[in-house]
């Protein structure tokens, strides 16, 4: 992606990479010093990841736990700050360990500078994951 990539375009590209299970490609969309926050993270789960390396480690095992099939709803809202978007989305798929359904709604606030994600605040509901084994970051707890 170019340094002129609009945040919405970069975000949609990132979703395509996640569906392709290309975690290294998704991590490449991050600034070296980018941060990811989880305001609703339960006790024992990371609340903040600092730097691309921490994001990469957190996401490394994602496809081993969640098999994403699609994002049937993605609505991107541009904020007054051109580099920041608010995204409402729904991801669906299956939990790899159990074969059970995965159906998660998210709200994310994402900031992009120079074509890379610098800040990602992920408002997902960890209580909606039916199987604790689905915690793709479980090794990081």
Q: Domain residues for 64?
A: 7-140
> Is 26:11 a contact under the CB 8 Å cutoff?
no
Q: Quick check: is 2 in a domain?
A: no
pLDDT score recorded for residue 4? 67
pLDDT per residue over 10-41, tens digit each?
Answer: 999 999 999 999 999 999 999 999 999 999 98
**DSSP string across 10-63:** HHHHHHHHHHTT-HHHHHTTEEEEEEEE-TTPPTTS-SEEESHHHHHHHHTTHH
Q: What pLDDT digit, counting tens, does each position of 104-136 carry?
A: 999 999 999 999 999 999 998 877 654 444 444
Number of helical H runs and strand E runs in the chain? 4, 6
Residue 1, domain member (yes or no): no
Q: What CATH code is carried by the domain that includes residue 77?
A: 3.10.450.50
Q: pTM for this structure?
A: 0.86
Residue 106 lies in a domain: yes
In a 10 Å sphere around its CB, with 0-12 CB exposed, 13-18 middle and 19+ buried, how is residue 102 labelled?
buried
Distance CA 116, CA 118 (A): 6
Structure confidence at residue 134 (pLDDT)? 43
Q: How many domains are there within the chain?
A: 1
* pLDDT, position 126: 76
7 confidence band (pLDDT: 50, 70, 90): very high
Tokens, residue 49: 């990841």
Q: Per-residue pLDDT tens for 37-70?
A: 999 988 888 999 999 999 999 999 999 999 999 9
């Amino acid at each position: 992606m170019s340094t002129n990539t609009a945040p919405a375009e970069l975000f949609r590209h990132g979703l395509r990479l996640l569906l392709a299970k290309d975690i290294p490609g998704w991590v490449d969309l991050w600034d070296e010093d980018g941060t990811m926050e989880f305001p609703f993270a339960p006790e024992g789960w990371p609340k903040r990841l600092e730097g691309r390396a921490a994001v990469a480690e957190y996401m490394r095992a994602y496809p081993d736990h969640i098999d994403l099939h699609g994002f049937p709803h993605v609505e991107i809202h541009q904020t007054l700050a051109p580099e920041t978007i608010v995204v409402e989305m729904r991801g669906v798929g299956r939990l790899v360990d159990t074969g059970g359904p995965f159906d998660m709604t998210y709200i994310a606030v994402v900031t992009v500078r120079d074509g890379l994600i610098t800040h990602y605040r992920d408002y997902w509901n960890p209580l909606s994951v039916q199987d604790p084994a689905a915690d793709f970051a479980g090794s990081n707890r």
